[in-house]
């Protein structure tokens, strides 16, 4: 691969004031043992089927950046040393794995309190419904979130983002959903946006006011959704909060109510997401895909035949976001059939589903391992699922998820020599260095 392809030059001319004059590299990562570019044969849709493993990796490679953008990727033999000056920051990977920054495509970042005390009750055998009846479960988080100040919520979010960054997450989706009233839900979205402005991890807000009906609307889910459409969605800007999400499940919202709500959100200009088929096969995933949802999340009970229909109907553009740490933490036996989804042509991504109730973990590397162990993914497929496909699941594929000229310089150096070791070291954090926007953080 030439150091500067024609496509690279065209990109740089587009995003600089003409005429473009090549600059010296501001950052160079050299001597990468395995350079996992995640660059596939197609840029029109997420990776599916064999493409999940056919992306380009380079033995003995380099990545060069100018300011916050990648400008060249290739084997060390093709490095243009004339672009390396005294001003260039040079990182020697010393034979280690180098890959794009991880994309965390499903988190509930902003909330008050935690449920550690309920974890102890669960371990003693107490059922979730009994905990809920005593004011616990999601209701306890809603109460803690409503009473927390803006400053407390922001401090908590920044604390969690710092933890994600240590695991190599450089882009993250942050869902609301623990306010369950108009005022608090709008506040959660603003906290997520402010947290994104105050630190380097890119934050993509998503509105999940339709997590479950607010306690004031118990037994009246349709009225609660009508309130969100009337009192919240008009006050959100789709350019700033690009996605509206809903939990379609028994005890939350029906398929019919979810369809109506998502269609109304779509009319207002929002992209669509859905939590569905987590505990029952209700048909929520297919319904959302028919509306053009960018992702269908959980999907533990989604049948392979339905996955194949979704793949055909969406032309491989609706991503199944699988959350392997949730059944692990909840001690459930059912995991999404990831291998069957891949064979059906459905693109898959992986996430932690970080939240205070069903997955209080930021360890996306552990999710990679569990996806290999319990969902049938190979290591190469799992790495694609937390990078380029995860970027597709939150509409960020033009910015991140692969190491290609023109993309943001979000890069990880891992303390392992080979990709196969990543899921093998169960629960370990392999990250040695994190670069976000061309800067070592």
Q: Which segments are annotated as binding site for Zn(2+)?
A: 106, 108, 275, 353
Q: Which residues are annotated as a binding site?
A: 106, 108, 115, 178, 211, 275, 278, 353, 355, 357-358
Q: 358: how many CB neighbours lie within 10 A of its CB? A: 20
Q: DSSP assignment, residue 17?
A: P
Q: Which residues are annotated as a binding site for Fe(3+)?
A: 106, 108, 275, 353
188 vs 193: CA distance, rounded Å = 9
Ramachandran category for residue 271: left, alpha or beta (phi over 0 → left; psi -120 to 50 → alpha): beta
Q: DSSP assignment, residue 200?
A: S
210 vs 244: CA distance, rounded Å = 9
277 vs 225: CA distance, rounded Å = 20
The helix (H) or strand (E) run that includes residue 177 is: none
Distances (CA, A) of 124 to 131, 135, 136, 151, 335: 12, 18, 15, 35, 24
Contacts of 96 (CB under 8 A, 6+ apart): 32, 33, 413, 414, 415, 416, 417, 432
Segments in 169-324 forming alpha helices (H): 182-197, 221-231, 255-267, 284-290, 304-314
Q: Which residues are annotated as a binding site for N-formimidoyl-L-glutamate?
A: 178, 355, 357
Q: Which residues are annotated as a binding site for 4-imidazolone-5-propanoate?
A: 115, 178, 211, 278, 358
Q: Which residues on neighbouring strands pair with residue 36, listed in sequence order?
A: 57
Q: Which residue, 107, 204, 187, 105, is CA-closest to 142?
A: 187
Q: Which residue, 123, 34, 3, 20, is CA-closest to 422?
A: 34
208 vs 284: CA distance, rounded Å = 16
Q: Which residues on neighbouring strands pair with residue 372, listed in sequence order?
A: none
Length of the chain equals 441
349, 385 in Cβ contact below 8 A?
yes
Q: Which residue, 374, 404, 373, is CA-closest to 387?
A: 404
Distances (CA, A) of 295 to 45, 260, 318, 391: 13, 17, 5, 11
179 vs 144: CA distance, rounded Å = 9
């Amino acid at each position: 691969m030439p150091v500067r392809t024609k496509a690279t030059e065209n990109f740089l001319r587009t995003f600089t004031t003409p005429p473009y004059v090549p600059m010296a590299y501001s950052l160079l990562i050299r001597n990468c043992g395995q350079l996992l570019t995640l660059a596939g044969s197609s840029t029109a849709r997420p990776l599916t089927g064999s493409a999940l493993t056919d992306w380009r990796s380079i033995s003995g490679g380099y990545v060069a950046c100018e300011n916050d953008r990648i400008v060249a990727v290739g084997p060390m033999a093709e490095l243009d040393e004339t672009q390396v000056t005294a001003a260039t920051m040079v990182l020697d990977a010393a034979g280690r794995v180098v890959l794009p920054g991880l994309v965390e495509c499903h988190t509930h970042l902003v909330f008050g309190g935690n449920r550690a005390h309920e974890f102890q009750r669960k371990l003693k055998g107490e059922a979730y419904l009994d905990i809920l009846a005593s004011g616990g479960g999601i209701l306890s988080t809603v109460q803690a979130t409503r009473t927390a100040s803006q400053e407390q919520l922001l401090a908590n979010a920044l604390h969690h983002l710092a933890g994600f960054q240590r695991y190599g997450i450089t882009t993250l989706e942050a869902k609301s959903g623990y306010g369950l009233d108009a005022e608090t839900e709008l506040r959660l979205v603003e906290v997520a946006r402010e947290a994104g402005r105050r630190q380097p991890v890119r934050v993509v807000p998503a509105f999940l006011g339709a997590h479950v009906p607010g306690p004031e609307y118990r037994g009246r889910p349709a009225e609660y959704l009508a309130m969100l459409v009337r009192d919240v969605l008009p006050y959100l800007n789709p350019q700033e909060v690009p996605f509206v999400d809903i939990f379609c499940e028994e005890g939350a919202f029906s398929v019919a109510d979810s369809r109506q709500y998502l269609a109304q959100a779509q009319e207002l200009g929002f992209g669509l997401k859905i939590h569905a088929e987590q505990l029952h096969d209700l048909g929520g995933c297919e319904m959302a895909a028919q509306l053009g949802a960018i992702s269908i999340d959980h999907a533990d009970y989604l049948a392979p035949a339905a996955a194949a229909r979704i793949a055909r109907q969406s032309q491989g553009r609706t991503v199944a976001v699988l959350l392997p740490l949730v059944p692990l933490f909840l001690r459930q036996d059912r995991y999404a059939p990831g291998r069957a989804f891949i064979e059906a042509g459905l693109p898959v991504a992986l996430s932690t589903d970080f939240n205070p109730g069903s997955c209080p973990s930021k360890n996306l590397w552990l999710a990679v391992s569990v996806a290999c162990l319990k969902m049938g993914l190979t290591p190469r497929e799992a790495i694609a699922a937390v990078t380029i496909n995860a970027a597709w699941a939150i509409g960020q594929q033009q910015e991140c998820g692969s190491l290609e000229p023109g993309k943001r310089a979000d890069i990880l150096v891992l303390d392992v020599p080979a990709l196969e070791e990543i899921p093998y070291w169960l629960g370990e954090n392999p990250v040695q260095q994190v670069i976000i926007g061309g800067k070592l953080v």
